[in-house]
Structures are given as structure tokens and as C-alpha cells.
Amino acid sequence: LQEADEVPKDFSTMFDDSLFKFDTDSIPESIKLYEELNVKHEVLTLIPPQFEAPLPPLQPAVFPPALREPPAPALDLFDL
């Protein structure tokens, strides 16, 4: 069997914080890409929502119950 590596006393040194981080380090690179790709760098605008869109009339998706006839009684239960 292979022996496990010893865990350091400060276990936080085992994590790599550079993989998932939120900062503004990549903003200058992305702005430079606009110039390299010859794309206009414009501020995003808000598209006004349309709240009063007409909806089609609702039709419930209901089917009538499929009623089955009960099975016939056994022959010895018939009243002859």
C-alpha cells in the first residue's frame, strides 16, 4: 500500500487561490483585445422590457376520464 503524504499544519497552503478569483486584473487585457480585433468598445445599454405583451387565451389541457366497465361477475354469482 502507498503511504499518504503528510498534511501540513497550515492546511490553507494546499489551496491555489489564483484559479478562482474575482478581481480586475484582466480588464486591461480585454480592452486591448478590442483594439486588436478592430471592434468598437461601447458601453452596454439597457433594452427596455415590454411588460404588457398580450398572451394567448388559456385552454386547460384536461382530458375526460377514461372509465372502464367493471369486469363481469363470475358465473356462480349470476342470479339465474
Q: What is the pTM of this model?
A: 0.34
Q: pLDDT grade, residue 53 (50/70/90)? A: confident
Scored b (16 or more CB within 10 A) or e, 47-61 reads eeeeeeeeeeeeeee
Q: Per-residue pLDDT for 79 more than 70?
A: no
